[in-house]
């Protein structure tokens, strides 16, 4: 597929055994659970999948398994990043195994200049003709000049925003649409909400016409995730507001108690619901007992709302 995915996006976790090796059987079960809810795309070995802790070999294992399990039911995007050489290596085997495209993660723990980011994207694009999605996030912040520059990359199909600065998102969209009109582009760039617990900002993104977002909740309580997304689509703002107040906002508060909690909370939620995919890899931390109790309470509150 040569277009960015749209709709509710599934970002699987990476299950681990007690010795921190990848639990491939667990990953297969997790993928089957997620795809059964018809997501618009599957993004493996990305942030929720602990990309930062995976070796190239592990990313390749995950890619191969995912292509087999999903079997054409949704486009599959693979996290590609770290050092530029690692990103190039990932892009090559991604194409070989049948991955649809790449979500680009320039290196963590560095703060590159705009020119450095431009160089990174262009070098990766030269190494792979797979569709690319740029990610505007801490450590890889794009300005408007760089966005215009990246639009020249023929296989750039989307921009995922992880910052939620709505004025900038609006400016970025306007700049992109003007560019598309001026050059009569047949390639419409897709925009995605990739903020932590994206549902919190979903109404603001909807006001800009953006209804595509990554849902961490889809990876542990998919029933709530799908119900919220449907309420957003049909403008059932009463249900949207109730789920935000009673489920998503308390969930986000709990998430923020733990460094890296956006990942830990997914694995904790699965554990509560009887699907143990192991813990997170160091340096991330798992939820403690009290946090598990409160998470269980939040999940029950959300389920009661959608069942009422």
Q: Residues with catalytic annotation?
A: 135, 160
Beta strands 132-136 and 101-105, pairing class: parallel
Classify the phi-psi angles of 46: left when phi > 0, otherwise alpha if psi is within -120 to 50, otherwise beta.
beta
Question: Which burial class, exposed, middle or buried, applies to 178 when counting CB atoms under 10 A from its CB (0-12, 13-18, 19+)?
Answer: exposed
Which phi and psi (to 5°) does residue 9 adopt?
-105, 135
SS3 232: helix
d(CA 146, CA 227): 37
Question: What span, in angstroms and rounded, lies between the C-alpha atoms of 63 and 24?
Answer: 11
- The residue among 240, 165, 246 whose CA lies nearest residue 199 is 240
Sorted by sequence, the CB contacts under 8 Å of residue 74 that are 6+ apart come out as 5, 10, 35, 38, 39, 40, 41, 42
């Amino acid at each position: 597929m040569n277009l960015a995915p749209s709709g509710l996006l599934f970002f699987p976790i990476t299950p681990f055994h007690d010795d921190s090796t990848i639990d491939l059987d667990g990953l297969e079960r997790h993928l089957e659970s997620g795809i059964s809810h018809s997501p618009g795309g599957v993004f493996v070995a990305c942030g929720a999948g602990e990309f930062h802790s995976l070796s190239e070999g592990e990313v390749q294992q995950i890619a191969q398994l995912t292509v087999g399990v999903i079997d054409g039911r949704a486009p599959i995007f693979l996290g590609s990043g770290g050092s530029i050489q690692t990103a190039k290596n990932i892009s090559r085997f991604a194409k070989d195994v049948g991955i649809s495209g790449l979500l680009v993660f320039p290196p963590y723990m560095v703060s590159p200049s705009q020119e450095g980011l431009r160089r990174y994207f262009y070098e990766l694009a030269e190494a792979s003709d797979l569709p690319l999605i740029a990610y505007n996030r801490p450590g890889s912040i794009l300005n408007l000049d760089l966005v215009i520059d990246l639009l020249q990359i023929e296989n750039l199909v989307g921009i995922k925003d992880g910052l939620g600065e709505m004025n900038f998102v609006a400016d970025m969209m306007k700049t992109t649409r003007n560019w598309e009109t001026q050059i009569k582009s047949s390639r419409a760039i897709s925009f995605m909400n990739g903020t932590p617990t994206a549902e919190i900002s979903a109404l603001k993104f909807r006001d800009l016409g953006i209804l595509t977002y990554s849902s961490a909740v889809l990876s542990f309580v998919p029933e709530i995730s799908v119900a919220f997304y449907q309420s957003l689509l049909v403008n059932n703002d009463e249900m949207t507001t109730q789920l935000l107040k009673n489920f998503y906002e308390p969930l986000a508060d709990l998430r923020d108690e733990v460094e890296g909690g956006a990942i830990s909370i997914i694995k904790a939620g699965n554990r509560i619901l009887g699907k143990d995919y192991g813990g997170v890899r160091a340096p991330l931390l798992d939820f403690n007992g009290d946090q598990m109790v409160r998470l269980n309470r939040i999940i029950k509150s959300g389920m009661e709302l959608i069942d009422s």
